[in-house]
Amino acid sequence: WNIQPQENPILKGHTAYVVDANFSPDGKYIATAGSDYTARLWEKSGKLLHIFKGHTHYGVVGSQFIKDSSLIITYSVDGTMRLWNFEGKQLRIIEPHDYSSQLYFTNYDKNLFIITSYDDTLRLRDTSNKVLQIFSKTSIGNFSPDGNYIVTLTNDSSLYFWRYTGQ
C-alpha cells in the first residue's frame, strides 16, 4: 500500500459522534450514522444529500447500502431498522430487535441479512420484515462470500457453521 495524502472533503453536519460510515458499492456515496439520532447520505464530494430522521434512544449505530446502492438500511439501539430510498423517504420500519449492534448482508441477495444484538441473539431476516431464523447466545455472525453458509460465534467461544439453503 502506498497511501498518498490528498485534500479530501470534510463531511460536516452531525451534531454528535459519528459512529459508522460506509461507501456505497459503486463508491459514489457515503452513508453515516450518528449518535445525534440521524443517518446521512453524502456524495463522495462532501455534498449532503439527505438526513434520515426517525430513530430514538441513543441514536443510530449503523447504516448499510442495499440493492445495488439504491436503498439504505439504518439500525439503532432503539430496536428498529429503517429502510430508506435515496430521496430520503422512509419505506419501512423493520422491528423489533432489541439493541441492534451489527448488520451484515449477503453478497448474492441484498434483501437477506443477519443482525446481531446486545441481547445475545442473531437473527436471519429479510427486508420485508420476516425473521427466518433466530440464533441464541450468539455474539457475532457473518455470511460466507457465496452466501451458502453462516458462521456464528457463541458466548462460550464455540464457532458454528450453518448451511443456508434459502428455505
| 55 pLDDT higher than 70 | yes
- Give the distance, in angstroms, between the CA of residue 159 and the centroid of all CA atoms in the same chain: 23
CB 22 within 8 A of CB 63: yes
Q: What is the pLDDT of residues 105-153, one digit of tens each?
A: 666 566 777 777 777 788 888 777 788 888 887 777 778 877 788 888 8
Identify the pLDDT of residue 48: 94
| 68 pLDDT higher than 70 | no
CB 114 within 8 A of CB 142: yes
Query: Does 66 or 105 have the greater pLDDT score?
Result: 66
